[in-house]
Structure 1
Amino acid sequence: MSLTLSAACCWIILAAILAAIPSNDNHWRRAYFLMLIGAPILVMVYWNDGILFGLAFTAAAASVFRWPLRYLWAWIVRQFARRPE
């Protein structure tokens, strides 16, 4: 197992631990921290281990960030749904 895959597995474990701890801000501060740490790991997984492992880690990260991704998707839909007057 490569170093980047090990880092990706540690990131997933860290995300699970952080999700289990109660939070006053609905875990947003932790989500920002995980995004900051996870983005370079994601790029390195694609770079070092190929597209299949990269897609697997992308799916794992998307399952961790399901609510932020839903909010992002809703915001994008609202931006394109606005009709110019």
Structure 2
Amino acid sequence: MSLSIILGTAWVLAATGVALLPLRRQYAPGLALLILAPMLILFIGYEHGVLPGLLALAAFVSMFRNPLRYLWGRATGRGRESAE
């Protein structure tokens, strides 16, 4: 197995572990996973091609859709209303 797939698997297991934590304890590790994900997705795409990279991106967006929606709303000036 390639290094990118091993790291991706570790990332998924870590994200699953963070999801099992109480909500107030999810912020710091969840933010770290959110920051690491784009680098990992690019690494997967670099080692395996565009299609696996796009599949990894789709999985990431699916897992983090609410935080990404909130951050997009903040970036575009809509604030909290766009996250609901």
How high is the TM-score relative to the length of structure 1? 0.75
Query: Matched residue pairs, number?
Result: 78
Given that residues 15 and 34 in structure 1 are in contact (C-alpha distance below 8 angstroms), is that contact kept between their aligned partners in structure 2? yes
Q: What is the alpha-carbon distance in structure 1 between the residues aligned to residue 21 and residue 34 of structure 2?
A: 18
Structure 2 residue aligned with 1:34: 33
Q: Which residue of 2 aligns with 1:20?
A: 20
> How far off is 1:57 after superposition?
0.8
**Considering only aligned residues, what root-mean-square deviation do their CA atoms show, in Å?**
2.0
CA distance in 2, matches of 1:52, 1:46: 7
Q: In structure 2, what is the equivalent of residue 5 of structure 1?
A: 5
Q: Which residue does the alignment assign to 1:61?
A: 60
Q: Based on CA coordinates, which of the two structures has the bigger radius of gyration?
A: 1
Gaps of 5+ in 2: 80-84
In structure 1, distance between residues paired with 2:31 and 2:72? 17
Q: CA deviation at 1:15?
A: 0.3
| Structure 1: gaps (5+ residues) | 80-85
- Point out which structure has higher relative CO (alpha carbons under 8 A, 6+ apart): 1
Q: Give deviations 1:35-76, integer Å, cap 9, x for gaps.
A: 233232111111111111101111111122111111123232
Q: What's the TM-score, normalizing by structure 2?
A: 0.75
Instruction: Give the drift of 1:77.
Output: 6.5
